[in-house]
Structure 1
């Protein structure tokens, strides 16, 4: 079973502020600033607004009564913990995959609770009782089908796909629902006249491998037949934490780009510290004009969750690759290679890097405390002018 909270951040805001119910609510960057929509209510989605849309574009689409909010990540995380506790009362095997979604193993629950539809209905009722929010639930024979089923009737949906119904469920869906189908893959399938999952299934494996490459072609071939991973693993780690922003207009101003990288580093550092993680691999993602995307990484000698260290490593990648003066559409920062993992080769250039100083740790802790109490936009790090 896949459980996905509906418009999670926005739904919490509407729950906590009754006058906002029924109004378009956008959680993310403030109007008039650079940044994107984190999430929005279904009232806002009717205007074509979506997550990751530049806030300037969202403002152009939405009516004057729209409510714009900065995220309250501490409050959202607290609600998430309540939801996961409620899910733990349904199944002993729960895999949290993000702040607002999880997979559950339903093995053996039919005798205790009833058929899959009854389990799904009980789950939705338990979440509503615990936190007053709606969730969309999908149940199927593996992770792919359960995930697609939860998306099928959003919001507040419940879809059960039995094993013998998998192909009937999949075939009419657009091929883009398959995992691993990105922009380049889509273009190649479009060029081959493919529209639906059924069209993908009709292509021979050798043709899919020719079009998409051996690995992706084989994965898409299996998914189109409903074959996917069916394991729910509570110990499965998230591989990375990342944050990026898309500018409403291309940006070449280096000062603006440094501010954006600092913001992203703070977001990543905060999330890493909340999860008790420290990583050795810092990644910078940049999209240049017209649509030239690069991802570059640097491996540190010492694991970190420090905003400042993440920023310095990410910005050094910008400097090293000499992107100054280029027009940038998107920029973002990621952290991975969690402490304790094997196989991370330190960067020899970072041999002199020392662990985070006590002063820097105290600053991070103070910023985190202010952020949890007053919201994400209450206090931000500044940058010293470059000399």
Structure 2
């Protein structure tokens, strides 16, 4: 979807249309973070994950609104319903993005490009929103293609064009290559896919670890990952960026309690229990650390989550800290087959 949160706000509220709009934390106080920005705001350099105060400096006349996640989730569900008319192989990445495998399309259209056009038109007609699509032979190339002609774009990269396309692609445009890795690559004289292609797979793994093998393949247009309609959840959590820096242990414990309750509610909703609890801390200088602890049994209760994160917090330099963000994540969940077995075992206790 194109600037999804901002586009929904502009659709629902006429006063936001045609003006720079920022969805996210407010710039007042210490300021929040931009979730997304309308294309009118992006012209001024406003981008997702940017501090809201910086966004305001770049675009002083921008309108800031808080996210309405319930509204976005409802729209996202309607988009998925449109997808499901064409295929059952849908892998959601977020509320506004998904992979679709249309090798065997339900309507027997026979053309991935035509299917993409129909989906885009249905989203526009039924939801009054625009989407951009990328069409290719695998997930990686399709993902990159979807970003090329935004907004309201459709890009097809056929098999014979893939290698040439990847060779000309700047390393920072490779999906999965973040700012840190891109910087590391450039320091080594690697600026494009063609530069990466000169390295052997061994050289890639020596320089970039396990990800090196992935980079080695994708620069050649090779990505054998299947579209997974039912991806198993690996972790679940919540975090909060505060209007003002937390400086006392009491303030930190109070915020951790709120976050722990949110995590607990999400775990209950998805019937998940895990053994590894991770505390994320971002300081006022944007330095970030994580601390994790695995416990013997699977849990999802607020008390255990909170007490464990307090212990993890105590292992850091609490007294001399100024904290702008705290997050809690639970992972190391029971395998699906184990959960099913436990459920069956529990039911058998009540048989007569």
Tell me the TM-score range normalised by the shorter chain: 0.7 to 0.9
State yes or no: 1:37 paired with 2:40.
no
Q: Paired residue for 1:294?
A: 289
Would the alpha carbon gap of residues 264 and 177 (structure 1) be closer, same or farther in structure 2, given more than 3 Å must change?
A: farther
Q: Please give the secondary structure, in 2, of the residue aligned with 1:135.
A: coil
Would the alpha carbon gap of residues 302 and 205 (structure 1) be closer, same or farther in structure 2, given more than 3 Å must change?
A: closer
Q: 1:228 aligns with which of 207, 223, 228?
A: 223
**Structure 1 position 135, deviation (Å):** 0.9
User: Within 2, Cα distance between the matches of 1:22 and 1:275?
Assistant: 39
Q: Paired residue for 2:345?
A: none
Larger displacement relative to structure 2 (246-255 or 74-83): 246-255
**Structure 1 position 326, deviation (Å):** 3.1
Unaligned stretches of 5+ in structure 2?
A: 340-352
Structure-to-structure mapping, 1:308-347, within 5 angstroms: 310-328=305-323, 330-341=325-336
Would the alpha carbon gap of residues 103 and 112 (structure 1) be closer, same or farther in structure 2, given more than 3 Å must change?
A: same
State yes or no: 1:163 paired with 2:159.
yes
Q: Paired residue for 1:347?
A: none
**Structure 1 position 303, deviation (Å):** 2.9
**Structure 1 position 273, deviation (Å):** 5.1
CA contact under 8 A between 1:189 and 1:211: conserved in structure 2?
Answer: no
Structure-to-structure mapping, 1:78-157, within 5 angstroms: 78-109=74-105, 112-157=108-153
Larger displacement relative to structure 2 (108-117 or 120-129): 108-117
User: Within 2, Cα distance between the matches of 1:305 and 1:42?
Assistant: 42
Q: Please give the secondary structure, in 2, of the residue aligned with 1:296.
A: strand
Q: Paired residue for 1:57?
A: 54
State yes or no: 1:13 paired with 2:12.
no
User: Within 2, Cα distance between the matches of 1:335 and 1:165?
Assistant: 42
Larger displacement relative to structure 2 (105-114 or 250-259): 250-259
Q: CA RMSD in A?
A: 3.0
User: Within 2, Cα distance between the matches of 1:25 and 1:271?
Assistant: 29
Give the TM-score normalised by structure 1.
0.76
The size of the alignment, in residue pairs, is 337
Give the TM-score normalised by structure 2.
0.83
Q: Please give the secondary structure, in 1, of the residue aligned with 2:142.
A: helix
Per-residue deviation, residues 29-57 of structure 1 (Å, max 9, x unmatched)? 12314421122211121221122212222
Task: Name the structure, 1 or 2, with higher relative contact order (CA <8 Å, separation 6+).
Answer: 1
CA contact under 8 A between 1:144 and 1:229: conserved in structure 2?
Answer: no
Would the alpha carbon gap of residues 290 and 11 (structure 1) be closer, same or farther in structure 2, given more than 3 Å must change?
A: closer
Would the alpha carbon gap of residues 52 and 265 (structure 1) be closer, same or farther in structure 2, given more than 3 Å must change?
A: farther
Per-residue deviation, residues 65-91 of structure 1 (Å, max 9, x unmatched)? x22222221221111111111100011
Per-residue deviation, residues 194-247 of structure 1 (Å, max 9, x unmatched)? 11111111223333233223x222221112111113411111123223444567
Q: Please give the secondary structure, in 2, of the residue aligned with 1:90.
A: coil
**Structure 1 position 271, deviation (Å):** 4.8
Q: 2:71 aligns with which of 69, 75, 81?
A: 75
Larger displacement relative to structure 2 (37-46 or 279-288): 279-288
User: Within 2, Cα distance between the matches of 1:153 and 1:263?
Assistant: 41
